[in-house]
Amino acid sequence: MKLCMIGTGYVGLVSGACFADLGNTVWCVDKDVNKIEKLNNNEIPIFEPGLEELVIKNSKFGRLKFTTNLGLAVKNSDIIFICVGTPISKKNKSADLRYVFNAASEVSKYINKFKIIVTKSTVPIMTGDKIEQIIMKKKRKTLFEVISNPEFLREGEAIRDFKFPDRIVVGSNNKKINKKLESLYEPLIKKGAAFFSTNRRGAELIKYASNAFLATKISYINEVANLCEKTGVDIEDVSIGMGLDKRIGSRFLRAGPAYGGSCFPKDTKAITVTADSFKSDLSIIKSVIKSNDKRRILLIQKIKAILSHKIKNKRITILGVTFKPNTDDMRESLSLLMIPFLQKKGAIINYYDPSGEKIEFSNIKNVNFYENIYDACKKSDLIIIHTEWDEFKSIDFKKISKSKKIKVYDLRNLYSPKKMKKMGLTYYSIGR
């Protein structure tokens, strides 16, 4: 099939490359001239394992094309995916849909025959209705159909999630169009993906409801971890014991920092704003948001306590600053709050992250990036394991602690407290 992806961010680029790898011809469109030039030179703007290989391969075979010319892409495509950002509005915490609506308006200019317009971006319920109204200002309804096809890609595992999804959700008020999308996804359905079709509003809500539920699981287990620390119970045992119940499941039951990233923080807030507009109180999700905010403060208070509230001139090493491993995404990461706070208190901060140096910290005094773990950890008073990158699971602490005793605060519970104690380290973890 001939496809157009509007937006070459995380969703658009990953989805476009994967669709091309299934044999489709895909046009990826972006207004950013510099980004398109880089992509045409096989330079990938985001960190995602396996993505570079897919882009190079499918560009070589002519299945994946990058352009700033929206008209060219739309006219040469049968299905147009809107994959632009939906950030949180600064006014009321709702989803900012200006980019979605601008894309719809621009697409309407170039519809020359029947097109399927797909919202892949995470959007509130009834967004499809508004897109339809926008396009109908310039084109008659018989020339297009607006549907919802939310993405369920996890950063760091996006390629696998696309190629081996749990489910594919398509929302359309037209059964024939649902069949068209089912045909597009047939290679994935044959490999076991569940194809679920519903109406457009239903598909829109499924994505928000799913993310809010997963955020709830994270906040829940973090609160249980707080209780474990008070009672001497190991949260790892609790998580495993709970996860063995098939009704609950083990995924997203790992205690750690507050949830972050591009989805959970904004989507939990956006769904509550939507609910409020319909006079429906999502009190559980509102409590989750409050719990997550408290979590950030609690962990920083714990760092202060570990250092006996004597932070000035302390050398603190942060291992991993992204919100999760295998991505360079810094959005809503605890490190964005933690590092400036400690720096203002007079600490000297060293950090290392496999995805590279971060512009967010480049202009902060006494915050230094290192190219490897051991240089970053030299002469540290406290090492904080913030992100669970694989290389942090087998650190040679004896190599680090030759010169002085150090404290380790493991926010991801990567190590055994008993083994760390045997090595003579002062070790702190979550819920243990």
Residue pair 148/203 in contact (Cβ under 8 Å)? The answer is yes
**DSSP per-residue letters across 175-196:** HHHHHHHHHHTHHHHHTTPEEE
For Cα atoms 393, 396, 401, give the angle at the middle one, nearest 5 degrees. 125
| 236 found inside a domain | yes
Are 229 and 321 part of one and the same domain?
A: no
Which long-range contacts (C-beta less than 8 Å, at least 24 apart) are formed by 1-4? 1/25, 1/78, 1/79, 1/183, 1/184, 2/27, 2/76, 2/77, 2/78, 2/79, 3/27, 3/77, 3/78, 3/79, 3/80, 3/81, 4/29, 4/73, 4/74, 4/76, 4/77, 4/79, 4/80, 4/81
| CA 28 – CA 332 distance, rounded (Å) | 27
User: Residue 404: is its pLDDT beyond 70?
Assistant: no
Domain membership of residue 203 (yes or no) is no
Residue 410 lies in a domain: yes
Model pLDDT, residue 406: 87
Query: What is the band of 91 on the pLDDT scale with cuts at 50, 70, 90?
Result: confident
Q: Of 198, 218, 236, which closes a domain?
A: 198
Specify whether 322 is located in the same domain as 353.
yes
Tens of pLDDT, residue by residue over 109-140, are 999 999 999 999 999 999 999 999 999 999 99
What 8-state DSSP symbol labels residue 262?
S
The predicted pLDDT at position 386 comes to: 98
Q: 184 has which bridge partners?
A: none
Q: What is the CATH number of the domain that holds 253?
A: 1.10.1040.10
Contact between 58 and 11 (Cβ < 8 Å): no
The one-character DSSP state at 13 is H
Same domain, 137 and 234: no
pLDDT tens column, 269-312: 999 999 999 999 999 999 999 999 999 999 999 999 999 999 99
For the segment 226-270, what is each residue's pLDDT rounded down to a tens digit? 999 999 999 999 999 999 999 999 999 999 999 999 899 999 999
- Residue count (the chain): 432
13/126 same-domain check: yes
For residues 284 and 303, state if they share a domain. Answer: no
- Tell me which DSSP letter residue 9 carries: S
pLDDT of 105 higher than 80? yes
Neighbours of 189 (CB within 10 A): 15
Does residue 403 have a pLDDT over 90?
Answer: no
Instruction: Give percent of the chain with pLDDT exceeding 90.
Output: 94
Which residue, chain included where needed, has tokens 């829940």?
Answer: 220
Q: Rounded to whole angstroms, how far apart are CA atoms 422 and 432?
A: 16
| Structural domain boundaries enclosing 75 | 2-198
Tokens in use for 225? 């971890």
Q: How many domains does the chain have?
A: 3
Same domain assignment for residues 242 and 383: no
d(CA 400, CA 376): 10
Is residue 343 classed as helix, strand or coil in its secondary structure?
helix
188 and 265 co-located in one domain: no
Which CATH number covers residue 43?
A: 3.40.50.720
Q: What is the mean pLDDT of the chain?
A: 96
Task: Check whether residue 255 and residue 162 sit in a common domain.
Answer: no
Let me know if 28 is a catalytic residue: no
d(CA 103, CA 131) in angstroms, rounded, equals: 9
Are 232 and 379 within one domain? no
Domain boundary, last residue among 244, 264, 293:
293
CA-to-CA distance for 381 and 404, rounded, in angstroms?
A: 8
Look at residue 420 and tell me if it is in a domain: yes
Pair (314, 289) in one structural domain: no
8 and 155 share a domain? Answer: yes
- What average pLDDT score do residues 41-53 get? 95
pLDDT of residue 402: 67
Domain co-membership, 218 together with 191: no
Domain end position, chosen among 151, 176, 198:
198
Element (H, E) at 54: helix 51-60
Q: Which of the following is catalytic: 18, 83, 228, 263?
A: 263
